[in-house]
Structure 1
Amino acid sequence: MRTRKKTLEKRFSLIEAKGRFKTACNQIFHLLQRLREIKKRYKMTQRSGNGVFRYNLRLKMSVIEGVCSMYYNYAYHKADRIAELRRDLFNDYGLPQSRPYSRVKKRSIQ
């Protein structure tokens, strides 16, 4: 009975981790989209010579890059957690089921 309870807890943890990973990926996508928009505006202000607006946009870009970096790190840890739970639950190592060495030709030593 204990193993069944642990298995259920791991499955719920897996579902939760997948949801959080997906949310983090969506946030990264939106942050990168926002960063592209700000970079476009930054280039326009650079051409027009508006130094005050350039400084403001440069600060926004640095903040978004920092937040994006944090989300990358968070998503990386969640992906590791998902892989760990899959290994525990399903003995899934994320490898293809085909034989990896079946197509490798053996070279003769000369």
Structure 2
Amino acid sequence: MEFPPVYVPGSPKITILSGASSDLAAATYCLHHETHTLGNALRWMIMKNPKVEFCGYSVPHPSEPKIHLRIQMYDSLSSLDALLEALNNLDELFATIGEAYTTSLNDDTYESFEE
């Protein structure tokens, strides 16, 4: 399956779909040029937030490189804040994993198996 480029200059990466509450306590976001890889990780990270009531994602059609991410918050808090926090947390998690992986490779502290 061939997807368009990850970044198209001038086009938004994330849009808010119609039907969002005015305070963004409940909203569906469209993440363009993304698939299950980010969708599931982001859903998992958002659900770690105790202020989140519900989070789920879907891929509207397999040939379209986008996901819809629904976030509903308790106490009329902003779902956009929860989304941005989860993106930052994932970025930190991936950086930590990358550092540990690089250190393990450089120190030869990884398991190897003979086949």
The alignment's TM-score, normalised by the length of structure 1, stands at 0.33
Structure with the larger strand share: 2
Q: Which has the larger radius of gyration?
A: 1
More helix by share: 1
Specify which structure has the bigger relative contact order, considering alpha-carbon pairs within 8 angstroms and separated by 6 or more residues. 1
